[in-house]
Each structure stands twice: as C-alpha cells, then as structure tokens.
Amino acid sequence: LFDKEWSISFAGCGFMGIYYVGATSCILERFPRFIEDASKIYGASAGALTAAVLTLGIPLEKCCADLMSIAKEARKHKLGPLHPSFKLLQRVQDTLLKHLPEDAHVRASGKLSVSLTRVSDVKNVLVSEFDSREELIQALICSCFVPFYCGVIPPRYRGVHYVDGAVTDNLPGCQLKQTITFSPYAGTSDICPQASTLNLPEVRFNNVSIQVNSENLYRVTSTFFPPEPEAMAEICHNGYRDAFRFLQVNNLISSECPIRNLAIDSFKYVCCEVVKESSVKAQQDGLNTLREDHWWLDPHLVENLPIEIQRVLCVACRETRTADGLFSYMTGYLPKKVTSYIQIPYFLPVELVSSLSQRYLLTRGASIHKIHGSVRFGLILWCHFSIFFRYKKNVHAFLICHLLKL
C-alpha cells in the first residue's frame, strides 16, 4: 500500500470532525508514517481543518478541546449554531489564530490542499500554496463557510468570494490512486464506520459515499447540530476503532496487536483526579465502583483513546453536569431540555426569521435599525400572520422581544 507516494483525504463533516480526532490519534500512535510521509493531505470544510492540523503537527488534544468548547457553546441556544449570537466561523478563526505557528503557511504549502468552491462560477478550486499565515487562515475559513448556515455574505480568499469546498468536491483527491479517504459516514471510504447491515443503498454527496440508514441520518444531523458531549466522545472512540481496524486489515500493524483494554489499564491510566482518588477502592471492588464514581462519562466510551484525549472528553462531559451530581442532572436538566424541545414548534419560525435577518444585516455591516421599511413591515406581517393562524397567544410576547431587537 505504501510502496509509492500516497495521499490522504478528509471529507467535510462539521461537528462530526470529532471522529477524525479519534481516527488520526490511532494512526499517529500506531503507524505515524502513514500521516507524516504522505505527499498530500487533502481536506474540505471541517476535513480541511483536520488536514491543516496534521500537516502542521498541532497536538490533537488541543483541537479536541476547542471542538468540544465550540460544540458546548452551540448547544446553549435553541437554534444551536444557527442562533445569531453564535458566530461559528469567528470561533474557528480565533482557534486558528491561537494554534497556527507563524510559519504555518511555509510548512503547509505544497502538502496541504484545501477544497474551495468559487462563488462566481460554482467551480471547485484546490489551494496548495499560501503566501502568508493570514492567507492560509482565509483559505480554511472559506472552505468551512456553509451558505446561510454560517452567514449570507461569503468570505474572500485573495479577493475572490469562496464558500464551502464540500459544495463541489467533498472528498478532494479521491479520484487519484493511492489516496486514502476518511469519512465519518458509513460508506465505501477507506476509513469510515461500518454499516450495521449489508447491501444498503447509498448516495454520493460530491464524491462522499453515504449509505442510507438510520445511523447515517443521525451522523448527518450531528454534522450541523452537535450532540451531547458523551455522544461526541463515543463518536471519537469509534473513529479510533475504525482506524485501528484499517491498519490491521492492511497489515500495517500486526493482526495480533491488542487494542488497549480499560479493565487492564483503568488504574494505570485515568482521565481525571476524581477517579484517581477512588482507584484503590475500585481495585478492591472491581470496575463497577469506578463507573459509579465516573457517572458523567461511561469509561468504556473512551477506553482505547490516548490518555490526553480521554482527559479532554472527560472534562467536557463533566462540565455539562451540575455540581450536585447525577440526580440533580436527571431531575433538573432533562425536564428543562424536554420542555425546550416542546416549545420549538411555537418559537422556531420567529427565531429563524430573526436569526436570518440579523445575520444578513451584520454581514452587510449595517445597523439593524436601517432595514428598509417595506422589508421590516413584511417581516412583522409574516410573523403575525403565522402566529394568528398557527400559534398560541403567549407567543406574542416572544415576538415583541425579537422585534424590539430589530
């Protein structure tokens, strides 16, 4: 497989990028030459961010922590990443500015290849040469810009408007021989989840194979709306196991090479101080005590991951729980969540109109008070029409609050 030059390609996948953290951590741990000696590392959208991280050698645990933090912020809002107060690309840009070294453009040029979609003619463009660190960041931001989901006005790269590379080629370089493809969706990619049943129909989204099943439906939903941190931890762990299977099948590691087992290493490798304090008791009473002391994250969900990534996921899961423990979480957090979901059919149309309107005006650099009178009147009329025919009277107070923002 690696007798000649080879390349790697990562499909765009939004918040499912946590899958790549697990998959690439396995490869870097077990067979680092696979990534370090690749001639090209391609990527689209979130896959481009992963490609940049691997090209520049940025620690995966830092990327994992940033992704979990962004997901946590998105989950705070009813509309998730669509809420006008949540600026996804601004968070991504801040993260890139924090982690990319000053010579990132020099190290990335020639090896990193970013998939972009040019707005003027909707053609795919692969960018591999970067004149500055800022230019590299601009290319990555353009590749991640999903129209309407991230905003209305596309960002620029070298003065030209571009949007998400996944719009035209979501698995760049996959047509070339010796290109190893990664995807968090079950399909025909080299490293991807295995489908629970065989002979399923598949669809191809701009070169990415996606089998039609309930698991992939969940994964596609999680692409745009991040699931709870424990679910993201499981996705990360699945990525590790899928990459491990790929290495074994292709004889890159011994078929007898054991994957780490938590039952053996649970007291040698622990992800937080809370577990360390109870490790002696757990050793006496068995693994069940450890699970009880670690109720915010099932240890089996991260048992094979590198310890640094385990710590990040442990902290992310623990932060979502209240200080009062599991009972408080079950009796307080969950009912509130259920109530908010029940309210969504009433509030979603108004929230959505407000969100899109504010995003449009913010990206145009205009004040919300300067909106054209006819547009403002139409917006108010549409909202009242919807409420009059479909929604309860108490939604009027909610509507008024949003219109005051306008």
CA dist 245 and 253 (Å) reads 10
- Using CA atoms, how far residue 171 sits from 114, 167, 204, 207, 238, in Å, is 10, 10, 11, 6, 20
Annotated catalytic residue 45: yes
- Could you tell me the end-to-end alpha-carbon distance of the chain, in angstroms, rounded to an integer? 59
Three-state SS for 159-228 is: CEEEEEHHHCCCCCCCCCCCEEEECCCCCCCCECCCCCCCCCCEEEECCEEEECCHHHHHHHHHHHCCCC
Q: Which of 25, 45, 115, 354 is catalytic?
A: 45
Task: Report helix, strand or coil for 113.
Answer: strand
Q: What are the backbone angles phi and psi of residue 354, rounded to the nearest 5°?
A: -60, -45
Yes or no: say if 247 and 253 are a contact pair by the CB < 8 Å rule.
yes
Q: Please report, as a single letter, which amino acid is at residue 44.
A: A
Annotated catalytic residue 164: yes
Tokens 């306008």 sit at which residue? 406
Q: Which of 7, 66, 164, 357 is catalytic?
A: 164
CA dist 369 and 361 (Å) reads 10
Residue 114 falls in which region: left (phi positive, over 0), alpha (psi -120 to 50) or beta: beta
Tokens 């304090």 sit at which residue? 277
Write out the H or E segment, with its range, that includes residue 343.
helix 334-363
Which residues are part of the catalytic machinery? 45, 164
